[in-house]
Chain A
Amino acid sequence: MNNEFLSRRQFIAGTAAAMAASRLRADEPAKIIKGKAEHCIFIWLGGGMSHIDTFDPKRRGDPAKKLAGSYYDSIDTAVKGVKVCEHLKGIAPLMDRITAVRTIHHDVIDEHAAAVNRMHTGRVVSGTVIYPSVGSIIAHERGAAADGAPPYVLIGYPNVTRGPGFLGSRDGYLYLTDTSQGPAGLSRAPDVSNERQLRREAFLTQTRESAQARLGDDSRVRDYAAAIEQSLKLSGPEFTRVFKLDEEKADLRKEYGGEFGQRCLLARRLIERGVRFIEVSHNLNFLNGTGWDAHNTGIKKQHELIIELDIAMAALIRDLEARKMLDKTLIVVATEFGRPPEFDSGGGRGHHGQAFSGVLAGGGLKHTGAHGVTDDLARKVVSDSCSVPDFFATIHAAMGIDYSKSLYDGDRPVPITDRGMPIAKLFG
């Protein structure tokens, strides 16, 4: 097993010899790489994107003949020598703004929840610490980019691995599950018109005065009252405008494509409004039922997912570039794990963690189309291995966050990543 992806506690339990070879690098001068990205859009492909069918294509396989290999043909891209799957037509000409990190790896492939946790916290759970998600860490370190904006918005289902862990609810997310509505708790019920809301607030003035008389002067009650003001503001027209996608030009909305594209468009609008980190989930499982977890017959419509990703991501990159926001917006495509080159008995694919791809775009990085090399069937890392902590350190570095620092769970120092080192090539 490679030391790179051991947890801190497993790591520190290793033998002295392993220690010497490890990435502790205690004696190296602490030269911190810092990028200049201001925002991050973290696209999540739940279930496990098949890297060999997308960003790390190899020879064609054939499920009928049980011949291992890619499910689709590959095409050339803007970067010489870097190929992607034929369904990534929109992204292919933009690969010079993108780096597919092809050599991420970890050892949790049997259990989705554990893999989701690994790829949101960047580390192994230990039982004694509840680790924060990457979104919460970035919210914690950098806060919102503008006054009156939440630092972290999730477009997807709430769950504990996306949460703030020991950092506490201040660094948690606001969430929404689709673009037809604003975040839970901050978007008004469908049957409440502006007129009704005005009446409600007028009534509320009365009950608040009455409450004041009963509760007396208490600083905590005062703070709660301030939170009421703030929530009324955030659910009011000024902030909720950001969710009104119909303010965008019809052509642009069309360019972004379906619901997933609209989520990406909303992410761009949220960034403009000052949100620091947005996780956009691609969980449009009605396309094939299983989403990216394409076991068995789930693979038959996998290309529809890939095409939807392609359309939306290409539109997002072009749109951000046109608005001169691409360099300050890091786009990350992350997933649970990859899938093996072999086909399962139903023609689909199982889970594979020894090598898989994550994608970085924009964010002011020096993109190279692809980073790292896997073997002939994308099973194993051949060169430029990138551990999960390294991938997370790269995200932090791009966001200008000191990836070597520690956060504190009470008194306990917790390194911000599991001793990851950023991919230096992408910087400076």
Chain B
Amino acid sequence: MKTFTKLLIATTAIFATVTHAADLVSRWDFGTEEIARLTPHGGVHRDVPGPRAPEFLDFDAENTAVKFDGSGAHFVFSETAANGPYSFKNGDSITLEAWVDITESKDGENVYVIGKGRTGDPAFAKDNQNWALRLRKLDGLEHVSFLFATPRKDQAKGKDSHFHRWTSKAGFTPGSGWHRVAISYTYGEPDSIRGWLDADPADGTWDMGGETRDAPVVDDDAIWIASSMGGSASTSFRGSIDAISIYRGLVPDDVMRGRCRKATPTAVKAPAKVATVETAPFATILPPGKVVVTLSDGLKAHDAFPARDDEPKALMRWETDQLLVPRMPMKYDDWGIRQSWSGPALLRAEAEISLPPGKHRLLFRAREMGRLWVNGKVIARTKTHSGSADGYQPVPAVSEPPAPGVHPADYGDKEAFGDAEIGPDGRCHVVLEAILGAKKFRAETGELCVMVQTSDGKSYALVEGKFDESKRMNEDNWKAAASRAEKALSDLDDANRYAASSTQNAFWDKRHIAGRQWTEKHPAAVAPKLDGVAHPIDSFINARIQTAVAASAASNAEEAKHFYEKVLPILSENCFRCHGDKEKGGLRLNSRESALKSGASGKAAVVPGHPEKSDMLERITSKDEDERMPPTGERIKPEHVAILNAWIKAGASWPALRVTPEEVAQPRVVDDPAFVRRAYLDAIGVPPTEAEARAFSADTSADKRVKLIDRLLADVRYPDAWMGYWQDVLAENPNILKPSLNNSGPFRWFLYESMRDNKAFDRMVTELLMLRGSATEGGSAGFGMAADNDSPFAAKGQIVGSAFLGIELQCARCHDSPYHTTKQRDLYSIAAMFARKPLTVPKTSTVPAAFFEKKARESLIKVTLKHGEELKPEWPFAKTCGVAEGADISALMQKPDDSRERLAALITAPQNQRFASVIVNRAWKRLIGAGIVEPAYDWEGHAPSHPELLAWLAQEFVAHDYDFKHLVRTIMTSQMYQREATGRNLKLAPERRFFVAPERRRLNAEQIVDSLFAASGKTINVEELTFDPDTRSSATTLTSLGVPRRAWQFASLSNERDRPSLSLPRAQAVIDVLEAFGWFGSRQSPHTDRETDPNVLQPGVLENSTMSTWITRVSERSELAELAIKAESPEALVDSIFMRFLSRPPAKADRERFVQALALGFSNRIIPADQIKEPYVPVRLPKITWSTHLMAEATTVKLEMERRARLGDPADPRLNPAWRDVYEDVIWSVINSPEFVWMP
């Protein structure tokens, strides 16, 4: 089909929480583009006509299929790991469905539509049929047939007894066009077999091998389409196939019937005008001045309104004050996690207004099918989508407004008009009904609304609870109405989500009581009491400094300096990866005592005074590849070898670290302007407004910093500040096009709403790992998806390990880690817990024997898992995390037999101090610039610089119910956080990392972009992040990430196709800035630390990019224009610019320079009203969508959009251009000051 349906790459485990009877595992539609990796063999021809409209109602008029020549022509699909979604064991149910147009086959032949196993691959038994849907020809008719094998027991039982075949009684004639064939079956339950031929169920018999309750063969052999047994001619399909679906579960009859809808022959010729019997909806009792909206889902059809008694029960009802629904509300599951709508939804909005008696014209807009009732009569209708979404649709003309100046219908929305006769009572009862979404397209409302023509006939006014026809729907009024409607929906979402998630509160209250009890029983270190130090963080830090200073008094300054600056760096750079805090080959080199010991070689690494006897020197200079150290990479430089040689010769002394009080003197706490800017950026991701910054400076209360921190942490923008960080750490990688390249679902919405609700961190992690809600539309289930990945749960195991436990498992995917103790077994064991079933290492994730043969020396990597070895769900990190499986963990669970929940519980249990420590260290690092443990994602062999502080923070975190905000508050209120950023902690070894001061941090990409928009008073005005703004596709194919409001909401624009018609030029302009500063559009793997090294593009994009043009342009009606117009003096204007962009007043020199520049022409800066030339308004352009993007016009339109984006918005016409240029240049120089991108 031309509408692209994709293979769900994630394994079925994702679906375990979905309540459908059957879940789609794969569907192949054989359009021009497909995601599934089908490899063609032999005569396979794509793009032949498939079942098509108008005869087949569920297909496009240009639907394509694939044709097979027979004689072994087939497709292979090999991503079929055992235990994957294609494996069905006893008790599992399968449904197979396909459309076939078979040319011919011989009587008695069984030709394959699709089958797993029996491919002829010598790695498997010949008769390993896991399952197959076939056509069996008998007496001239093609019958639907199902075949599977059970493992062969012994030869004595007779030939073929292990094959089990079911065949339908009914059949069809080959060459008679398209037919739908399907079967469903639950293994182990022979009576469960069900077949379908076209729309009807088909009876049949087990005609070979008989019924069986035995388990079927399950292995990881490939799936073949259209042939079998190595391509034997007699099993090969000749003809066309389309729309093959594989489900887990049994698809019920009514659903099956609904998937095979055929127009009757007469209807094909002349679409009959069937008079529908319509009954008006029951009138609701409307609260005065209100509009009532109800919504239900699960309609049987998207192109017909159901009879009243067949309407699904309303899922939600809300009151609002205008008949405008700009988007769907969110649907939440019973934990408050986003879910997809199931089937088409029905929305009804109802209002009652008063109009003068007589005839009135109304209009309504809807995305798909809709009807408008006035006083019980339908007066206007819209239809559902028609035509194909294949890219070749003509670009529709731009809609005309219904009257001059009225906001026109949005692209993709349908508009209908109708007249209503209003009686003498003036009553006008309006009901709008709309069907939203369908099997093949996302449910969206478009700009669903109803308007009434104004009495002068010249405009339209929105139907509102308090109807006021003078509120004409010009763009300004429309914007105001739409933003009110959005606010109402956002409140509704919050309320629905709180209500749903509160069902889990009791459980979490219990968990948190257990957490508090645990901390009481296992108290951590108490903060040392120091004079004049109030905050525990400062106590720990100052105490450690004091101790170190005292200890170093005994050390020889000269010797210590040489050792720590010259000798130790050579050892740490070259040796410590294996011989530091870790022990490889029995050797550690992190202390003199260890270095003097003999390792596995039997020789001491260091013999003081005798370099020639020291094994270390021998190894680092050895010419023998098998002996030399370090084993890979560059050799140690000769001058460094010389330093080590001299050090050993001189006795290999290892002096105590020399710390002078001057070195560890703490800088002062920053001034108010720096603090307020730092606090705002860290807590909500944008700087303070001018007024906020001034108010803070003016505040004289002693506790104003703490109060500010509390206020900011309660701000609704708090989650925005943390989103990008967790997206990176958790590799959130959604695609607006079909998933590929390790794409996940957009679980950003799960994270965002969790933080918006300030969910406890243990709860957020648990709910993330439980993979709930919609995989494609914002549930935590999206985290479980990993497209183009042969072992999605292993990929997720790696993320979970580094994100929450500081355990690096990247190498363990294919072999044991060379520089870590982690084993392949560890990764696949947690992956199995996550997957809720045993896992094997996929064929593609291992290292072959030949790799080791080629190696000259013993390899650093080891493969310890045998091919095909099954790993059971098991917790491998008891030692590392200090928490083992057991009854105390079960007590923290809702379903103790669920291995996925067990994994979540083991990670988030209070006993798991590693988890709490890793999270507090992450927060610390983000706010201070260096971790107490570095790197934050990989703790093995990396000691904390302040173990007691870390333990205390972790304990605080657990004792405060894993409240992340409390943690952030604890850090931000310390003196440490508030000191001048002169720290050099990041690059230092733990023993030298004193946290005298925080690091100088560069703002991250999101902070820079958000700050630019916030400070200039502009909104991020870019396209909706989608190729499907008119909702012609399903969310699994083309989805929408919405219109970004903040920088974290962007994603890769996925124009791998390099088509100008698919570019989103305004979004790209913002992404150019984000990417220059290290943001990832595509997060194929997790990242804790972004690249922060300066590069030429960073200042470049601030100086020259399209976005920089938008920011610095004093555009029409912008805040910057108003600021200039209202400014009392050049001085005041310069002050405002500095306060806005840098949160501080200008320094003396700044003020002098810029006041001088802006004073010139200041008094004449405003153009007299009668001389203002309104800027040219370019014509509206159509939106280009996936449906139209392959037409030549689509490219032309997009190129014009790019041109306009680059040009930016027109300048404010009220300002004198010459003066305005200078004003813009001042702003430019402020945003390009390094001060703008560095945290104060």
Residues of A within 8 A of B (CB): 1, 7, 9-16, 19, 24, 26, 44, 46-47, 107-114, 116-117, 125-128, 130, 150, 156-161, 168-170, 174, 177, 181, 184-191, 196, 199-200, 203-204, 206-216, 218, 220-221, 223-228, 230-232, 234-235, 281, 283, 285-291, 293, 295-298, 340, 342, 344-346, 348, 350-351, 354, 410-413
Q: Closest CB-CB distance, A191 to chain B, in whole Å?
A: 8
Knowing A47-B1057, A160-B1056, A298-B1190 are in contact, say whether A225-B1104 is a contact too (CB < 8 A): no
Known: A159-B1058, A221-B1000. A107 touches B39 (CB 8 A): yes
Among listed B131-139, B748-756, B845-853, interface-contacting one: B845-853
CB distance from A136 to the nearest CB of B (A): 14
Residue B660 CB within 8 A of the other chain: no
What separation, in Å, do the CA atoms of A12 and B738 have in the docked complex?
29
Q: Does B1054 contact A (CB under 8 A)?
A: yes
Is A227 in contact with B1095, judged by CB distance below 8 angstroms? yes
Q: Find out whether the CB atom of A221 lies under 8 angstroms from the CB atom of B1238.
A: yes
* Interface pair B1096/A234, CB less than 8 Å apart: yes
Which of A170, A214, A223, A413 is packed against the most chain B CB atoms within 10 Å?
A: A214
Q: Which residue of A lies closest to B28 (CB)?
A: A110
> Once the chains bind, are B1103 and A235 in contact (CB under 8 Å)?
yes
CA distance A174 to B1103 in the complex (A): 15
Q: Is the CB of B1195 within 8 A of A190?
A: no
Q: List 23 A-B contacts (CB under 8 A).
A: A1-B39, A9-B846, A12-B851, A111-B740, A112-B1057, A116-B1058, A126-B844, A157-B1060, A158-B1072, A169-B1078, A185-B1072, A185-B1097, A200-B1232, A203-B1154, A208-B1233, A210-B1235, A227-B1096, A231-B1096, A283-B1058, A283-B1060, A290-B1190, A293-B1057, A346-B47
Other than the given A196-B1225, A224-B1238, 20 more pairs (CB < 8 A) read: A13-B845, A111-B34, A111-B740, A112-B1057, A113-B738, A125-B742, A128-B814, A159-B1054, A159-B1055, A184-B1072, A184-B1105, A185-B1103, A186-B1104, A187-B1104, A189-B1108, A209-B1149, A211-B1235, A285-B1060, A286-B1060, A351-B46
Determine if B503 is an interface residue (Cβ-Cβ < 8 Å).
no
Whether the pair B46, A181 counts as a contact (CB closer than 8 A) is no
Complex partner residue of B1234 from A168, A208, A287, A348, CB under 8 angstroms: A208
Instruction: List the A side residues contacting B742 at CB < 8 Å.
Output: 125, 127
Fill in one digit per residue for B1079-1111: 1 if any A CB lies within 8 Å of its CB, else 0: 001101100000111111111110111101100
CA distance A114 to B1058 in the complex (A): 13
B1150 within 8 A of A: yes
Q: Which of B803-849 contact A (CB under 8 A)?
A: 810-811, 813-814, 818-819, 842-849
Q: Is B592 an interface residue (CB 8 A)?
A: no
Indicate the size class of the contact surface on chain B.
35 or more
Query: Which of A46, A107, A200, A348 gathers the greatest number of chain B CB atoms within 10 Å?
Result: A200
Assess whether B1093 is in contact with A223, with CB atoms less than 8 Å apart.
Answer: yes
Which of B45, B391, B1206, B1233 touches A340 (beta carbons < 8 Å)? B45
Closest Cβ–Cβ distance, residue B733 to chain A (whole Å):
10
Nearest A residue (CB) for B47: A344
* Chain B 504-516: CB-based contact to A (< 8 A → 1; otherwise 0): 0000000000000
Q: Are A215 and B1234 in contact (CB under 8 A)?
A: yes
Alpha-carbon separation in the docked complex, A12 to B1081 (Å)? 31
Q: Does B170 contact A (CB under 8 A)?
A: no
- In the bound complex, CA of A125 to CA of B811 (Å): 16
Q: Are A215 and B1235 in contact (CB-based, < 8 A)?
A: yes
Whether B1099 lies near A227 (C-beta < 8 A) is yes
User: Are B1106 and A184 in contact, CB atoms less than 8 angstroms apart?
Assistant: yes
Q: What is the minimal beta-carbon distance from B1188 to any residue of chain A, in angstroms?
A: 9
Which A residues touch B848, using CB under 8 A? Answer: 11-14, 19
**Cβ contacts under 8 Å, A13 to chain B:** 842-846, 848
Q: Mark B962-986, 1 if CB is under 8 A from A, else 0.
A: 0000000000000000001110000
Chain A neighbourhood of B851, CB < 8 A: 12
Cβ contact within 8 Å between B1192 and A342: no
Decide if B326 is an interface residue (CB 8 Å cutoff): no
A177-B1104 in contact (CB<8A)? no
Q: Does B539 belong to the interface (CB within 8 Å)?
A: no
Residues 283-325 (chain B) with a chain A CB within 8 angstroms: none
Q: Tell me whether A215 and B1191 are in contact (CB under 8 A).
A: no
Separation of A9 and B47 alpha carbons in the complex (Å): 32
A111 touches B1235 (CB 8 A): no
Q: Which residues of A contact B798 (CB under 8 A)?
A: 128
B830 CB, min distance to chain A CBs, angstroms: 16
The yes or no answer to B575 lying at the interface (CB within 8 A) is no
Contacts of B632 in A (CB 8 A): 413
- Is A184 within 8 A of B1101, CB to CB? yes
A46-B1058, A107-B39, A231-B1100 known; A185 vs B1235 contact (CB < 8 Å): no
The 10 closest A-B pairs by CB, nearest first: A344-B47, A203-B1229, A207-B1233, A127-B789, A211-B1235, A185-B1100, A110-B34, A46-B1058, A113-B1056, A286-B1195
Given A159-B1058, A186-B1104, does the pair A220, B46 have CB atoms closer than 8 Å?
Answer: no
User: Smallest distance from the beta carbon of B1125 to chain A beta carbons, Å?
Assistant: 21
Q: Is the CB of B1157 within 8 A of A203?
A: yes
Partner of A289 from the list B38, B1095, B1195 (CB cut-off 8 Å) is B1195
The reply to whether A350 and B32 form a contact with Cβ atoms under 8 Å apart is yes
Closest to A283 in B: B1058
Q: B48 interface residue, CB < 8 Å from A?
A: yes
The residue among B842, B1059, B1208, B1238 with the most chain A CB atoms within 10 A of its own CB is: B1059
Is there contact, CB below 8 Å, between A228 and B1192?
no
Whole-angstrom CA separation of A203 from B1134 in the bound complex: 13
Nearest CB of chain B from residue A4's CB, rounded to whole Å: 14
List the A side residues contacting B1199 at CB < 8 Å: 286
Residue from A184, A207, A283 within 8 A of B1229 (CB atoms): A207
A156: chain B residues at CB < 8 Å are 1058
- Of the listed residues A150, A196, A224, the one surrounded by the most CB atoms of chain B closer than 10 A to its CB is A224
Smallest CB-CB separation from A226: which chain B residue? B1094
Is B36 interfacial (CB-CB < 8 Å)? yes
B847 closest partner in A (C-beta): A12
Contacts of B845 on A, CB cut-off 8 Å?
9, 13, 128
Judge whether B1002 and A114 touch: CB under 8 Å: no
- The digit string for B552-569, where 1 denotes a CB below 8 A from any CB of A, is 000000000000000000
Give chain B residues whose Cβ lies under 8 Å from the Cβ of A150: 1096
A287 touches B1192 (CB 8 A): yes
B572 part of interface (Cβ distance < 8 Å):
no
Contact of A220 among B1002, B1054, B1195, B1226 (CB under 8 A): B1002
Question: Is the beta-carbon distance between A288 and B1192 smaller than 8 angstroms?
Answer: yes
Contact check, B1055 vs A157: say whether CB atoms are below 8 A apart: yes
CB distance from A263 to the nearest CB of B (A): 13
Cα A201 to Cα B842 with chains together (Å):
58
Interface residue? B571 (CB, 8 A): no
Query: In the bound complex, what is the Cα–Cα distance between A113 and B741 (angstroms)?
Result: 9
Residue of B38, B47, B982, B1108 with most partner-chain A CB within 10 A:
B47
User: Smallest distance from the beta carbon of A260 to chain B beta carbons, Å?
Assistant: 13
B1097 engages A190 (CB within 8 Å): no
Q: Is B1078's CB under 8 angstroms from A345's CB? A: no
Query: Are the CB atoms of A295 and B1192 closer together than 8 Å?
Result: no
**Bound form: Cα–Cα A298–B798 in Å:** 44
Task: Verify A285–B1059 contact, CB threshold 8 A.
Answer: yes
Identity of the chain A residue whose Cβ is nearest the Cβ of B1147 in the assembled complex:
A210
Residue B1196 CB within 8 A of the other chain: yes
Give B218-237 interface residues, CB cut-off 8 Å to A: none
Contacts of B1105 in A (CB 8 A): 184-185
Contacts of A113 in B (CB 8 A): 737-738, 740-741, 1054, 1056-1057
**Structural contact, B64 and A116, CB atoms closer than 8 A:** no
* B1094–A227 touching, CB < 8 Å: yes
B1236 to chain A, nearest CB (A): 8
Specify the chain B residue showing the minimal Cβ separation from A108: B37
Q: Does B641 sit at the interface, judged by CB under 8 A?
A: no
**Which residue of A200, A290, A342 is within 8 Å of B1225 (Cβ)?**
A200
Taking each of B1091, B1092, B1232, which has the highest tally of chain A beta carbons within 10 Å of its own beta carbon? B1232
Q: Name the residue among B49, B819, B1195 with the largest chain A CB count within 10 angstroms.
A: B1195
